[in-house]
Structure 1
Amino acid sequence: MGARAGESADLPEAVATELRRTAAELLGDVSSHADVMFDYILERIPEAGADDDLRGLTLGSCSSNLEAVLSMVRHGIDVSASKAPVTALEHARAMAARGYSVDVMLRFYRIGHAYFTERILTGVSASISDPALALAVVADLQRYGFAYIDRISSEVAAEYIAELDRIQNRVRAARTDAVRALIAGDQIDLGRAERALSHRLTGWQTAFVCWTERDDADLARVGSAVGAHLGSPHPLLVPDGAQALWGWVSTAQAPAVEPPDLAPLVEQMPKTVRISLGTPAQGAGGFRDSHAQAQRGRRIVELSGRGGLVTSYAEIALVDVMSGDLDLARGFVASELGALAAQGRQTEEERRALLAVLDAQGGLAAAAEELGVHRNTVLQRVRRAEERRGRPATERVAELHAALRLVEVLGSAVLTSESS
């Protein structure tokens, strides 16, 4: 096709003249053609009539596009000068706002071009007595119409995507504001917050945090798996940067988050991701409190530099409370354990044996079963532990138990240098 309709270098003057005459004639009845085009589109794309506003914009787009392309043909304007009409851009924004896909939106233009080819060009060929002239006019109009639609559809698609981005940004902003307000304990309209979050704030709220050091981890998929395990196929997920994710589930009953209950979840998790679960709690306050616990659980896991793939706050709540000030916790451990607070394989075995006995309320057999060693081995290790500590295990039992639990969870973060 030439740069301008009717102005190809080898296009006879008779064809150019007839093209412009035909375009002028069609322009005189453009409203009627637009009405018929709208009905043609509506028959094939029912979404065009979803509501009065969309119907009006679809009809307006038909009219403005027909008028634009025919006016350009009439005046020999290069197709590269074409711009999407305001109504066409508004139609694209309306389609995005209603949640229709870009493919549905672009079908309007494909179907519109089909109408132009099937109805208008057929009428043109019938109104020109010279078959050769009619064929040349129709062919040039077809080429120009296709070039126009190709150009305009790219513009409206770009506007559709831009509007979708604006909508999604507004949705993300509303979600973020609602989450921040809930976490801060602000007074908010719970119904409005639920709509913004697509998340029920009544019932039991269980929060979790997922994080990783990898850039290629699919945390959204991990979050969905956690939600499904806890009883919600559609958890609320909020990215916290590129390597962390906050999540909540809302359930009618409190989900089980004890270690044995989490075993099936652990099996699903990638080894590069860590998950911290808060304790289930009710209502908007539970949304906040469970999240705070999940965040504190993450702190404990990162302090320890170890731990399993999935950690429930209930497992480490005591350690969290005792380690708010890490220097104080370290001093407490040193004071209670003495030389037993040193790092090293042997001291670790002795600490584990002493803790197992305290957990078993003094039962050597239960402690031995827990550790997988003979009861005499447990007894020997406990005696060495008492020697290192400098006092028997029967003194300051609560403090000893707490110090050993701190070391069990936080490890080197609360221990002194390597033992000699």
Structure 2
Amino acid sequence: MTTLATPHTQDTTADTGTALRFITCGSVDDGKSTLIGRLLVDSRAVLADQLAGVQRNGETDLALLTDGLSAEREQGITIDVAYRYFSTATRKFIIGDAPGHEQYTRNMVTAASSADAAVVLVDATKLPWAAEVGDGEVVASTLLPQTRRHLLLAHLLRVPSLVVAVNKLDAIDDAALAFERIGAALGDFAAAAGITLKAVVPVSALKGWNVTTRHQDGKGQDTGWAGYEGPALLELLEQLPVTQPDAGQPFAFPVQWVEKFSGSADTSQGRRIFWGRVASGRVAPGQRIAILPGNQQATVARVLTHTRAEAAVGAGHSAGIVLDREVDVSRGDWLLATEGFEPQRELHATVAWLDDEPLVPGRLYWALHGHRWVKAKVARIVYRLNIHTLETEDAQQLEANTIGEVVLALQQPLAVLPFAQARSLGSLILVDSASHKTAAAVLVRSAATH
């Protein structure tokens, strides 16, 4: 059986002074919105009038604190990603509530692409954890397809910390047995897929057990529950590391905006300023850089921070770059280190196909890399991944919400690195040239070889 390789792990720092971006994901009705509502209420991030607005039949419907679209409230589902903010005494948080329906997987991918952590919920009441056949033989618990898909996607997108919250155990008589068997199923799947789980935590989002505080007995003492005596979910989140930028990679800078000089008093001294966010590496005056496309070279004369102070700027931060001479640079171009990149026109890539129209080899799409658009087509499909068995299968097309590997042919070369090495430089999106819908998330594995 062929399985997904474990991706390169980014350097991370448990900087609890920096806001942690995390998402909740999983299958439909696993309690994602309710969990976030519980975190917001118990951390006192909800005003009294907001709580009053989510009362239903005398009870508080926590899910309504994140389901803000009218269609979401009418249907009782999450459709789009809802972001909420809260803080504790030690940390700030940005939460993305990702939808569980398969047809909205594209929204989950969008949220996961910039997340530091993912909390994947599992509804214990939906799984056959307690089934037994003949002579006490136990039927192994299985995971729902969307749970598997979200774990795989979060893993592929290099979300650094994956936590599983087994929810609704308060509705089960033998919570400890259920948690044990579901935990075993999660461990088997994670091992087969090469996924590292930070923790598996039993919770009741509805009652608040093990969410912000550890489960307590009637005397207010911390007690183990469901055979688990570890920290509550929020305690774990407070200690998770934030994602560090790709500072150790060669310098790369996608130009987002070109500012023309405004006069002799301008800090650019009459030259244009190229603004954007440093994707990798570091830029400082005196560096020799190359421009893609065009392959011209120039020297960095000045580097401005977002406040227009002159200083070197590292990956993940905005910068304005002034070159020592006038060259043809516009939005979408890349400024690159003169060594470390070999622009490629054919790529091996993992794709998460998001469009309702299936991927068919030979069809033309637009590919977006940084701020640069180039035409692209899928030369061939290498395989499709079976999310149930994790085996690779031959495929003539990729349907919506499937994961596979393809060879991508580009009309113009792009300076890319493998996604396992550099998150920004190794990711693209494909956009349908006719409907303008986002068709796929593309994660570069390597340059194609023949």
Q: What is the TM-score of this pair, normalised by structure 2?
A: 0.17
Give the number of the structure whose residues are more often strand, by fraction: 2
Larger Rg: 1
- Between 1 and 2, higher relative CO (CA 8 Å, sep ≥ 6) is seen in 2
